[in-house]
Amino acid sequence: MTWLLSFRSTKYKSTTTVYPLLVSLLNPFPWLIVGLGVVLFALIRLKKPSRLWAVSGVSLYVVLFLWCQPLVAFLFCYTLEGSYPSTIKLDEPLPVVVLSAGMLEPEPGKERWEADEITFLRCNKGAQLYREGFATPIIVSGGIVDTAIETTPRAIVMRELLLNMGIPDEDIIMEPDSRDTFENAVLSANILHDRGEDTVILVTTATHLYRASLCFQKQGIDVIPVGCDYQARKFRWRVQAFLPSQHAAVTNNRALHEIIGLCWYWLNGRV
């Protein structure tokens, strides 16, 4: 009986190792990227284009291939996330500001907007800090960004989410007018200054923390940054980590968005 249990355990471990690799290999995305490279090099060999066209095509393909690499996404995000913790320890609680992210449109026949996954993770981190006794009150910051379709400020949705997580209503403050990170900082800082506060725990996505922290510091607020939704916690050395991945491309896009946003804010004196 012991040998049977040992065999089943070994078989289970093998399955949990092989299955993710099998899923990655059956995903068409890596093969599309590799196939595109094969077609490109075949065309160069057969059609013999000018050196300029050949170099341009190969260069664009190399950039595309690297952009879809998990290792590149890890390193890119680590430059933004590496110095920020996901936990803190304080002697006394401080106000926490939770920044909004995206929203999900109402289901057919309904008017209620919902928090997207990233907004949920940010609120969940704020609620966690509250339960641990480090954060009170919780300021939720976010208004209507797309006036063409949105009907509910994000702060209202975040408040309802925190209430469902067990946070008392009296410990939630809404800032429902901001439309971007800079306005998050300006309007939240006004609330903090009115309360006589100049230090805050800032909760947002880890890749977003650097730009958001600079915006709050520009408003005279000392920031204790706490991240969530980290993309660069630990790199796992396995076969899948070197296959082109749509998730890696999306992650690189998020990091690039932050770099572009940081440059734009710097040029406009917002950080």
Residues 142 and 23 placed together within one structural domain of the fold: no
pLDDT (tens digit, 9 = 90+) per residue, 136-168?
A: 899 999 999 988 888 899 999 999 999 999 999
Write down the pTM of the prediction. 0.83
Residues 77 and 102 placed together within one structural domain of the fold: no
Residues 224 and 101 placed together within one structural domain of the fold: yes
CB 165 within 8 A of CB 122: no
User: Structurally, how many domains does the chain consist of?
Assistant: 2
What band does 90 get if pLDDT is binned at 50, 70 and 90? confident
Q: Between β-strands 222-228 and 135-141, what pairing exists: parallel, antiparallel or unpaired?
A: unpaired
Peptide bond into 137 cis (omega under 30): yes
Residues 46 and 152 placed together within one structural domain of the fold: no
Give CA separation, 204 vs 5, 39, 81, 239, in Å. 45, 42, 11, 31
pLDDT given for residue 7 in this prediction: 44
pLDDT (tens digit, 9 = 90+) per residue, 165-224?
A: 999 999 999 999 999 999 999 999 999 999 999 999 999 999 999 999 999 999 999 999
Residues 74 and 118 placed together within one structural domain of the fold: no
Residues 188 and 221 placed together within one structural domain of the fold: yes
Domain that includes residue 122, residue range: 94-229
Q: What is the CATH number of the domain that holds 102?
A: 3.40.50.620
Would you say residue 178 lies in a domain? yes
Residues 150 and 213 placed together within one structural domain of the fold: yes
d(CA 117, CA 127): 15
* Segment 107-125 mean pLDDT: 90
